[in-house]
A and B are shown apart, each in its own frame.
Chain A
Amino acid sequence: EVQLVESGGGLVQPGGSLRLSCIASGFPFSTYAINWLRQAPGKGLEWVSYINKNSDNIYYADSVRGRFTISRDNAKNSLFLQMNSLRDEDTAVYYCAREGPSGPPVDCWGQGTLVTVSS
C-alpha cells in the first residue's frame, strides 16, 4: 500500500522555525517527484514546493521562496520541508504528495500535519 506520513507540525511563534518530515512507503520513493502543498483552515489548496527524484530540480511558490527549503533523502525514503521566518499566514495543514509514475498530477497525498503560527 502506498503511504505518505507527515510529521513535525505544531505551534510556533511568528519568526520561528519548524522542520516537517514525510516518510514514504509502498513504492520506489527514489523514482518519484514529490510536492509539498498546504491548506489554511477553511480555505483552499495551495502548492508550496516541488522536488524531482534527483533533487536537481526544485521550485517554490512565491509566498515561501527564500524562507522554506525542500529536500529529500532517498536512502531513507524521506522528504523534508525546513520552514524559517514563519508568519501567521503560514498556518495550515501541510501535505506531502507524490506525482504519478509518469509525472504530474499528484496522485497520492499524506494525511497532513498542522502547522500553527501564533504568539
Chain B
Amino acid sequence: DIQMTQSPSTLPASVGDRVTITCRASQSISNSLAWYQQKPGKAPKLLISKASSLESGVPLRFSGSGSGTEFTLTISSLQPDDFATYYCQQYNTLISFGQGTRLEI
C-alpha cells in the first residue's frame, strides 16, 4: 500500500497569506497526485489533478507542484472562502489520502 504523509495537520493563517501544504508518498507515484478541498458537512471538491493541473473553475491562486514522492499545494493569497481542510490523494495504485490539513484563522 502507498502511504501518504501530509503536513502540517493544522495551519493557522490569515487572509492574504501565502501558504504551502506538503504531501509525501511512501514510494514514487509519478504525477498521480490530486488535491481536494473539503468544507464542514460537504463532500470534497477536486482542485488539482496530475500534481499541477488546475481543475476548471478553480481560482488561479491555487497551484500544485511536485513529482515522484514530494508534492506541494500553494495558495498564493488566502481568501476567506479558502479556510477549509485540504487532502492530497494518490491514484497511482488504487487510492489513498493524506491525513488532511486544516487551514484555520
Instruction: Identify the A interface with B (CB < 8 A).
Output: 35, 37, 44-47, 50, 59, 62, 95, 97, 100, 104-112
Contacts and interface: CB of A to CB of B under 8 A. Distances in A.
Nearest to B55: A107
Q: Is the interface of B mostly helix, strand, loop or mixed?
A: loop
B43 A110 contact: yes
Q: Is the interface of A mostly helix, strand, loop or mixed?
A: strand
A47 B87 contact: no
B65 interface: no
Interface size on B, as a range, is: 20 to 34
Contact of A45 (B44, B45, B46, B49): B44
Interface string B60-99: 0000000000000000000000000001010100111111
B32 interface: yes
25 contacts: A44-B87, A44-B98, A44-B99, A45-B36, A45-B44, A45-B89, A45-B97, A47-B97, A62-B1, A95-B43, A100-B49, A104-B34, A105-B46, A105-B49, A105-B89, A105-B91, A105-B95, A106-B46, A106-B95, A107-B49, A107-B55, A108-B46, A109-B43, A109-B45, A112-B43
